[in-house]
């Protein structure tokens, strides 16, 4: 038996790795630049701009974005291995697109370096006061800002026509303001380098594939195993999912505080569904064609097709509405002010109980309907078998025949569908938790999507995938325990 369980766990490992890969692929393709969101917006000022660049660099290192994405990548001969080191996402894309047009990294790199030099020398520009005397102070600031704007616009552009227009603008600016004299030569170099790109272009290089290998120092490896405790402890080993883009807190802290309620409702709903559905299903099957069978079939079928968000809204509208019945609270899991000081566990349960009723109904009803229908069908199968007829012929009471002899064998299919019920309950939590504002993982997932908090989304996807796998494992083991015909080898 132990051997069997170990074997099952062993089979789950590749699936788990695939889940992490899928989550990772989604997170890498997420739109927007996370660093831009982490850096606090500041007043546009030269001194601060340099600080912002440093801060961006620090965040990039902390989030691991200065590393290559994966152990290897499929790329072209024209692309360098080091493009991932560029900090700004727009700049990186612009360079990559330039490569995909012209295909000569050497010239593009030269152009990029000279453009950067030009840009940073402007930032540290202190104008000679003698020269500036004839200009208005505002005019000088304005001009410098414009120059800076155009230069940074060129950094994020790959369209030749746009770059040329911007370059002409800069040239005319440099011409009309003599105090900008010292930039002229630097800008001439940028211009020359840009022209050189087109002259020496080798677009055919883009069509030769190449596999680039990177070391274990990549984003995926770091995400799974951490980087030795410097910034991240790693996903699989220590449950570190990275930093939330919204609160800048570790994601694992948020998840630990939220997973409790989700698991509580999921387990509660699964247990409740099993406890109610087995008697209902057995009774309907035992009295096939009776009024109970027919009416329960219709009700169960309707429940099965009922969208949970509709039922939840209807329930709140009826039982938590001051206009109709104000019996139960509409949202949350505890009073807005929290529990009274020094409340014992029992008192806390008592206070929270009314809050739990409506969500628990919504969590339970669909799996209840599904389970009852499965139970009825499997019981019908069993009832027609020979050994049940034998039991009846022996003169056993109908009650004993059904509940003792029939039920045991009819339970098998219902145990296998545990593997369907459990993920459905976890998935359903997204809707129900956000309707009832339960502080669980489901409502956190929706909040994360509204705020584009991708690391959180991926963490939740991975955790729910892991929980589902655990659900499958449990159902496999239960099945092996209940059915002695299954061999463990």
User: Under the rule (CB under 8 A), what is the footprint of another protein?
Assistant: 14-15, 18-19, 22-23, 26, 29-31, 74-76, 97, 100, 206-207, 209, 301-302, 304-310, 313-314, 316-317, 321, 323, 423-424, 426-428, 430-431, 434-435, 445-446, 449-450, 452, 454, 457-458, 460-461, 464-465, 468-469, 472
What DSSP state is assigned to residue 340?
Answer: P
Q: How far is the CB of 469 from another protein (least distance, A)?
A: 5
And the tokens for 202? Answer: 């080798």
Neighbours of 80 (CB within 10 A): 15
And the tokens for 332? Answer: 């949350």
Q: Which is nearer to another protein, 141 or 317 (CB)?
A: 317
Q: Which is nearer to another protein, 17 or 349 (CB)?
A: 17
Name every residue whose Cβ is closer than 8 Å to that of residue 253 and which is 6 or more positions away in sequence: none
Q: How far is the CB of 166 from another protein (least distance, A)?
A: 20
Q: How far is the CB of 105 from another protein (least distance, A)?
A: 16
Q: How far is the CB of 349 from another protein (least distance, A)?
A: 28
Q: Which is nearer to another protein, 14 or 484 (CB)?
A: 14
Q: Which is nearer to another protein, 260 or 307 (CB)?
A: 307
Q: Which is nearer to another protein, 183 or 465 (CB)?
A: 465
Q: Which is nearer to another protein, 316 or 438 (CB)?
A: 316
Q: Which is nearer to another protein, 340 or 427 (CB)?
A: 427
Q: Which is nearer to another protein, 19 or 280 (CB)?
A: 19
Q: How far is the CB of 332 from another protein (least distance, A)?
A: 16
Q: How far is the CB of 48 from another protein (least distance, A)?
A: 31
Helix/strand/coil (H/E/C) assignment for every residue in 129-168 = HHHHCCCCHHHHHHHHHHHHHHHHHHHCCCCHHHHHHHHH
> Sign of dihedral through CA atoms 382, 387, 389, 391?
negative
Please answer whether residues 411 and 482 qualify as being in contact, where contact means their C-beta atoms are separated by less than 8 angstroms: yes
The CA distance from 65 to 279, in Å, is: 56
The CA distance from 217 to 305, in Å, is: 50
Name every residue whose Cβ is closer than 8 Å to that of residue 91 and which is 6 or more positions away in sequence: 155, 156
> Sign of dihedral through CA atoms 254, 15, 21, 234?
positive
Q: Which is nearer to another protein, 116 or 206 (CB)?
A: 206
Q: How far is the CB of 409 from another protein (least distance, A)?
A: 20
Name every residue whose Cβ is closer than 8 Å to that of residue 175 and which is 6 or more positions away in sequence: none
Phi, psi angle pair for 336, to nearest 5°: -55, -30
Please answer whether residues 471 and 418 qualify as being in contact, where contact means their C-beta atoms are separated by less than 8 angstroms: yes
* Closest listed residue to residue 452, CA positions, set 177, 286, 246, 259: 246
Q: Which is nearer to another protein, 20 or 143 (CB)?
A: 20
CA angle (413, 414, 418) in 5-degree steps? 115
Q: Which is nearer to another protein, 171 or 318 (CB)?
A: 318
* Closest listed residue to residue 62, CA positions, set 95, 32, 87: 87
Q: How far is the CB of 118 from another protein (least distance, A)?
A: 26
Please answer whether residues 258 and 444 qualify as being in contact, where contact means their C-beta atoms are separated by less than 8 angstroms: yes
Q: How far is the CB of 427 from another protein (least distance, A)?
A: 3
The CA distance from 387 to 66, in Å, is: 69
Q: How far is the CB of 30 from another protein (least distance, A)?
A: 5
What DSSP state is assigned to residue 246?
Answer: T
Please answer whether residues 65 and 219 qualify as being in contact, where contact means their C-beta atoms are separated by less than 8 angstroms: yes
Give the H or E element holding residue 75: strand 72-76
Q: How far is the CB of 392 from another protein (least distance, A)?
A: 25
């Amino acid at each position: 038996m132990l051997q069997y369980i170990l074997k099952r766990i062993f089979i789950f490992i590749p699936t788990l790795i695939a889940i992490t890969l899928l989550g990772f692929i989604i997170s890498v393709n997420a739109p927007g630049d996370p660093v831009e969101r982490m850096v606090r917006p500041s007043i546009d000022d030269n001194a601060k701009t340099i600080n912002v660049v440093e801060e961006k660099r620090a965040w990039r290192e902390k989030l691991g974005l200065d590393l290559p994405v994966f152990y290897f990548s499929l790329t072209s001969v024209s692309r360098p291995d080091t493009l991932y080191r560029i900090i700004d996402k727009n700049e990186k894309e612009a360079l990559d697109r330039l490569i995909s047009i012209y295909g000569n990294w050497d010239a593009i790199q030269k152009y990029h370096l000279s453009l950067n030099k030009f840009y940073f020398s402007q930032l540290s520009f202190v104008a000679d006061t003698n020269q500036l005397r004839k200009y208005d102070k505002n005019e000088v600031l304005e001009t410098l800002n414009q120059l800076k704007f155009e230069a940074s616009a060129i950094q994020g552009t790959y369209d030749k026509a746009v770059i040329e227009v911007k370059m002409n603008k800069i040239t005319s600016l440099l011409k009309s303001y003599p105090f900008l004299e010292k930039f002229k030569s630097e800008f001439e170099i940028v211009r020359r380098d840009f022209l050189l790109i087109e002259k020496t272009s080798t677009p055919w290089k883009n069509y030769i594939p190449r596999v680039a290998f990177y070391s274990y120092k990549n984003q995926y490896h770091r995400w799974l195993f951490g980087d030795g405790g410097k910034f991240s402890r790693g996903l699989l080993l220590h449950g570190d999912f990275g930093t939330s883009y919204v609160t800048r807190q570790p994601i694992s802290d948020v998840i630990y505080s939220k997973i409790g309620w989700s698991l509580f409702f999921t387990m509660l709903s699964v247990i409740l569904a099993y406890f109610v559905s087995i008697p209902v299903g057995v009774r309907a099957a035992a009295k096939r064609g009776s009024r109970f069978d027919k009416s329960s079939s219709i009700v169960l079928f309707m429940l099965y097709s009922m969208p949970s968000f509709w039922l939840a809204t209807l329930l709140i509208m009826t039982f938590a509405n001051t206009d109709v019945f104000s019996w139960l609270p509409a949202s949350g899991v505890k009073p807005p002010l929290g529990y009274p000081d020094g409340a014992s566990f029992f008192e806390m349960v008592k206070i929270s109980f009314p809050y739990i009723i409506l969500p628990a109904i919504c969590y339970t009803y669909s799996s209840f309907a599904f389970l009852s229908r499965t139970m009825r069908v499997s019981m019908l199968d069993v009832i027609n078998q020979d050994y049940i007829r034998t039991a009846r012929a022996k003169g056993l009471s109908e009650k004993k025949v059904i509940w003792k002899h029939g039920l045991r064998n009819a339970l098998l299919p219902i145990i296998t569908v545990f593997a369907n019920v459990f993920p459905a309950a976890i998935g359903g939590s997204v809707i129900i938790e956000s309707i009832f504002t339960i502080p669980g993982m489901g409502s956190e997932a929706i909040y994360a999507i509204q705020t584009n908090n991708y690391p959180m989304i991926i963490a939740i996807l991975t955790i729910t995938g892991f929980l589902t796998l655990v659900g499958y494992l449990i159902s496999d083991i239960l099945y092996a325990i209940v059915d002695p015909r299954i061999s463990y080898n």
